Structure 1
Amino acid sequence: MKQGVLMQYFEWYLPSDPHLYQKVKADAQHLFDIGVTALWLPPAFKGIGGTQDVGYGVYDLYDLGEFYQKGTVPTKYGTKDEYLQAIQALQQVGIQVYGDIVLNHKMGADGYEDVKASEVNQHDTYDIEKQNEWIQVPTLFTFPNRHQKYSDFTWDWSCFDGIDYDAKTKRHATFLFQDKTWDSQVDNENGNYDYLMGADLDFSNHRVVSELKRWGEWYLDTTHIDGFRLDAVKHINASFYQDWLYHMRQYTHQELFTVGEYWHGDVQKLLQYLSEVNYSLSLFDVPLHYHFYEASRSFGQYDMSQIFNNTLVQKACMNAVTFVDNHDTQPQQGLQSWVLDWFKPLAYALILLRKDGYPCIFYGDYYGIEKPSLSGQNQVIDRLLYLRQYYAYGQQNDYFYDRHIIGWTREAYGLACIMTNQNGGQLYMYVGQQYQNQIFYDYLENVNETVTIDDKGYGLFTVQDGSVSVYIPKK
């Protein structure tokens, strides 16, 4: 059985033509062959931006590219039929599919309503700056072009607790609706980080919660996906997703693997959230990403022996999805923190060749990025995936003693990884006595010299400047 490898199959600046779903379908066998076991597809529902919406400006959860809304039938990624065909093609070759779920907010309303609201301080949402004024807000969602197919639910202002725009005065600010309170089980940045963007869903409204459960059932029945990636979980009551996931798992009698995006560099915040949801889902290891980012930009000064210190994979490895970069961290994005190209092979070795964590590969790292034009690193990632699939098993021995040259070995099939963020050098590492007198070579071809394992099962492994080498037995 293959070791799990997740791939995020999109980046922010993908063109809308050709449709991504068509590419996914054609790419399914290749993805399976290189060792991908699950694919995270982008949000599939119609957004406010039509074919230009990446998927996070959610308009209609029931429109997967089926209805003429927001100036288009297809979403940025294709039609509903293409989406379903892509999912089926992936599952037929043995790849699971995770849907990207965006329930925090809605955008692109069909009408306006007059409501009483208080303007709050954007940097401290408990601080009310103007109390109870009448504003005009885009909160009426009737989806006239869907004609109530799949759901007759109408969203009005009572389904939300706040918004960031008053159409009457054309004023951008954060407003809390009268008789509403921000969700409490959220991140405490900005006092309370319930509000993120758009019309913010009120998860204390039972009608809203019931409709989201009905939608979840419909989405699973329609797509037959295998799991979820949850967007912006730190802005949503923790109890909501714990309850919603329990409902979906009971409904399908399936595991429905789920990973949430809780964007914070402090691992304690992630651990607190996992505790609040009773470890019912995994989280992306954001602290580890920031370690990669810092290491890639520290001109060799980063202490590589501490690369896993205070990361989720260190503190809660069973709930950690490790990654190098994603659509939010890529250049020109709001959370831009791009790991430099020279460090990418080191970072991918750190997530793919060790025993802990569920690694996620980014489309932009593999295939490249449209804007700014950045080349992919598919050749080295393919090699690391091969090593994960055939060699990265068994007892793991760590050599994290030096500030710059670190390494580890895996004993089952013989693997020794060594890397440095500074000058090259050597590590004397144990691979197992069963390999004595065997010759190991660098599968990544960064070092030409081979290594002969001694009678005690050790070898002296070499790495070049700012590089990574992975040694395996010569056949």
Structure 2
Amino acid sequence: MDNGTMLQGFSWYLPADGAHWRRLAKSAQRLADEGITAVWLPPAYKGQAGGFDVGYGVYDTYDLGEFDQKGTVATKYGTKDEYLACIRSLQAAGVQALGDVVLNQRMGADATEDVVAREVAANDRNRVVAGPHKIRAWTRFCFPGRRGRYSTFTWDWRCFHGVDWDDATRRGGIYLFDGKSWDDEVDHDDNGNYDYLMGCDVDLSYPPAYDELVRWGKWYLDTTGLDGFRFDALKHMGREFYQRWLPEMRNYTGRELFSVGEYWTPRVDELVSYINDMPTMSLFDVPLHYHFYSASCSNGDFDLSKLFDRTLSTWNPVRAVTFVENH
């Protein structure tokens, strides 16, 4: 994609009326006429909160609003057919459709499993505060409402690094499963190792889980015809995953699949380091976002000549996606 203008096609606080895909489809030509060249669509698959889930509490990535799961068929944004129609409407107007992909965590499991785990400190995930003991974790995802359609893969504790809840004791904490270790190629400035974010933290290096995410990615692209991706929570995911997964998707489709990732940090050196390791995607310019924020709170005292100092746009403008605010 050339130097275009991408619209975030949703906000966190949209009404949970199941009508968003229809609204966006009706707006496609107007957006194109106003100079929008791409629309970042919200996560389209079923979340743990059903029709109220913004999309980041990922339950079933194969359910795009097609199956009766989590109390609803439609997602917060509408049905699968409406989602596909929205994508086609944007593309017919000459606007690229980018799908929000959230692969770091899963929530809303269908059953528990007894797993041996170590509890680690919330502010230092490398420090064990309780030795190996058995917990009851919500880690089994079998998707009974889908009944094996599109994939028969069942997620269990082996697909994850850990969780934040022991249902046996009804106690929260951060529990690292025995025999597992946090990914190393993640953010280490926060909490010692910031692999774990929320829910069931996906072990992206576990071969069965990785292979399933490759199968899903190919199915998702075949089903939707999306033009590219927005990737969530990169600082919490081992870099090796997208180094492998995204080229596989591009080779499979034979298309560019423009991709932009969210690596949330005000430090430009971290973004530059990530890009050096990840030549396959762009990143949001988070340091520039913080500069905009500072300027907005400065009562006119911000030196605009320094707006782009220590930003990704200065270090690597080709790979920087600028933004003022997001969801």
Same fold (TM over 0.5): yes
Please name the residue that 1:59 is paired with.
59
Q: Distance in 1 between matches of 2:74 and 2:86?
A: 14
Which SS does the other structure have where 1:203 is aligned? coil
Distance 2:159 2:2 in 1: 44
Q: Is the 8 A contact 1:2 1:37 kept in 2?
A: no
Residue 2 (structure 1) shift: 8.3
Counting matched residue pairs gives: 326
Q: Secondary structure at the match of 1:207?
A: helix
> How far has the Cα of 1:150 moved from its partner?
0.2
Whole-angstrom distance in 2 between the partners of 1:271 and 1:193: 18
Stretches (4+) displaced over 4 A: none
1:299 counterpart residue number = 299
Q: How does 1:43-442 map to 2 (within 5 A)?
A: 43-188=43-188, 189-277=190-278, 279-327=279-327
* Contact in 2 for aligned 1:2/1:35 (Cα 8 Å): no
> Per the alignment, in what secondary structure is the counterpart of residue 136 of structure 2?
strand
Q: Which amino acid aligns with 1:281?
A: M
Contact 1:217 1:251 in 2 (8 A): yes
DSSP 3-state at the match of 1:216: helix
What secondary structure sits across from 1:16 in the alignment? Answer: coil
What is the CA distance between 1:138 and its match in structure 2? Answer: 0.2
State the 1:259 CA deviation. Answer: 0.2
User: 2:47, 2:55 within 8 Å by CA — same for their partners in 1?
Assistant: yes
**Alignment partners' CA distance in 2, 1:137 and 1:252:** 37
Q: Give the match's secondary structure for 2:84.
A: helix
TM-score, length of structure 2 as denominator length: 0.98
The answer as to whether partners of 1:47 and 1:58 remain within 8 angstroms in 2 is: yes
Change (3 A) 1:230 1:2: closer
SS of 1:318's equivalent? coil
Counterpart in the other structure of 1:24:
24
Q: Deviations over 1:235-288 (max 9, x none)?
A: 1111101110000000000000000000000000111111111x2100000000
Instruction: Tell me how far apart the structure 2 counterparts of residues 161 and 280 of structure 1 sit (CA, whole Å).
Output: 26
CA distance in structure 2 between the aligned counterparts of 1:324 and 1:2, rounded to whole angstroms: 20
Residue 208 of structure 1: how far off its partner (Å) = 0.6
Identity %: 55
Judge conservation of contact 1:109–1:139 (CA < 8 Å) in 2.
yes
1: CA distance, partners of 2:18 / 2:205:
41
Separation of aligned partners in 2, 1:161 and 1:316: 34
Structure 2 distance, partners of 1:159, 1:210, is: 11
Any idea what SS the aligned residue of 1:136 has? strand
8 Å contact kept, 1:119–1:131:
yes
**Aligned residue type for 1:270:** L
- Distance in 1, matches of 2:2 and 2:213, equals 34
TM-score norm. by structure 1 comes to 0.68
Q: CA deviation at 1:3?
A: 4.8
Query: 1: distance between equivalents of 2:114 and 2:171?
Result: 14
Q: Deviations over 1:405-430 (max 9, x none)?
A: xxxxxxxxxxxxxxxxxxxxxxxxxx
SS at match of 1:212: helix
Identify the structure with bigger relative contact order (alpha carbons < 8 Å, sequence gap 6+).
Answer: 2
What amino acid is the match of 2:60? D
What do you get for the CA RMSD once the two structures are aligned?
A: 1.0
What CA distance in whole angstroms lies between the structure 2 residues aligned with 1:283 and 1:138? 33
Structure 1 gap ranges (5+) = 328-475
Q: In structure 1, what is the Cα distance between the partners aligned to 2:81 and 2:304? A: 47
Q: Is the 8 A contact 2:18 2:76 kept in 1?
A: no
Matches of 1:203 and 1:55, distance apart in 2 = 20
Superposition deviation, residue 164 in structure 1: 0.3
Q: Secondary structure at the match of 1:268?
A: helix
